[in-house]
Amino acid sequence: MKMISCVLLLVLTLSTLFSAEDPKQAAKELIQLEQQFATTVANKGIKAGFLLYLAPDSIVFQPTPVAARVWYEMEPDPAIWLEWKPNYVESAQGSDLGFTTGPWQIKKSREENKAVQFGHFVTLWARQPDGSWKVALDAGVSYEKPPRLELSSTIEPKIGTPAWRPRPGMESSPPGSDLTGLDLQMSGERNAAKWASRYLAMTSPELRFYRQGRYPVLGRDEAKKALEDNPETRLWKPEKTRLSALGDLGYTCGQTTGQIWTPKGIQQETGSYLHIWKRQKDGQWCLLLDLVSPISKPER
């Protein structure tokens, strides 16, 4: 009987460990959490809803990175109707870090049919010591009315799949896992074409390119076209970084200064940025998501 009990306990333990480290299952959890998050905000209000889901050390872009809990505790609850839904999610293989992203919109009230603001959000989720998921970082961009009404879509969110798989005995954070160093490698070039070439060489084919005032660009090839149409150069100044336990997913955030080519000439822009990095099959890091939230905006 003891032997059977021990075997059952071992099976249950291994089953729990496998489930906890299954990135697809973790991604599904994050989809449900993001949807529950949105529902809670709808029922309790923005302030109370966010405070329930924010981690103790969470960050929000307003537009500079600030302590999220402190900011929401101090700010009055806005009299608006905010709604959103995820359309893409990805989890690290260790199920300790992940992110969701998708469209948001604001209405003047719950009864209003017409939205007055639109945008895309990015939520970074981190596993807490008690095993729960909490929001580690919240950021986003806004733009004019989107080309399609995604919030009414019934399509299930896309789940990203891990590319790099650690092998037994391999270091989880081998040389090259300094994500802040990767940000700095993309800095310093003042020629827009050369900067774009250096930048794109470090991105994933599935790059998500988020800029204020523009609908998100999906894919490296589309980002290349966007940078040809709207040239820019940037300096990245990382202030915070986090790496997943198995070293396959991570993020950096901080301040950015850039030169933006506009019809009115070259103009300066300062802002905050979020970079999500993903290890590829060959072990190299590639930029998966790039979001810039401007503080000063160039005239276009």
If one compares 260 and 207, the residue with the highest pLDDT of the two is 207
- pLDDT category, 2, cuts 50, 70, 90? very low
Domain limits at 244? Answer: 179-296
What's the CA gap between 113 and 117, in Å, rounded?
Answer: 12
* Residue 31 and residue 153 share a domain: yes
* Residue 102 and residue 64 share a domain: yes
* Residue 155 and residue 192 share a domain: no
If one compares 48 and 146, the residue with the highest pLDDT of the two is 48
- Over range 215-222, report the average pLDDT: 97
- Over range 107-125, report the average pLDDT: 93
Share of residues in the chain with pLDDT > 90 (%): 72
pLDDT of residue 45 exceeding 80, the answer is yes
Report pTM: 0.89
Inside any domain, residue 155: yes
* Residue 288 and residue 229 share a domain: yes
Inside any domain, residue 111: yes
What CATH code is carried by the domain that includes residue 109?
A: 3.10.450.50
pLDDT at 170: 56
Inside any domain, residue 197: yes
What's the CA gap between 67 and 46, in Å, rounded?
Answer: 16
pLDDT per position as a tens digit, 257-296 = 999 988 888 889 999 999 999 999 998 999 999 999 998 6
Q: How far is CA 238 from CA 122, 131, 181, 195, 252, in A?
A: 18, 28, 9, 18, 6
* Residue 212 and residue 89 share a domain: no
User: Residue with structure tokens 């095993």?
Assistant: 131
pLDDT of residue 253 exceeding 90, the answer is yes
What's the CA gap between 181 and 115, in Å, rounded?
Answer: 41
Inside any domain, residue 166: no
Q: How far is CA 266 from CA 75, 143, 196, in A?
A: 36, 22, 16
pLDDT per position as a tens digit, 145-197 = 888 777 777 788 999 988 887 766 555 555 446 899 999 999 988 899 999 99
pLDDT of residue 217 exceeding 70, the answer is yes
pLDDT per position as a tens digit, 80-104 = 999 999 999 999 999 999 999 999 9
pLDDT at 17: 38
- Number of structural domains found in the chain: 2
Residue 82's DSSP bridge partners are 106
Inside any domain, residue 14: no
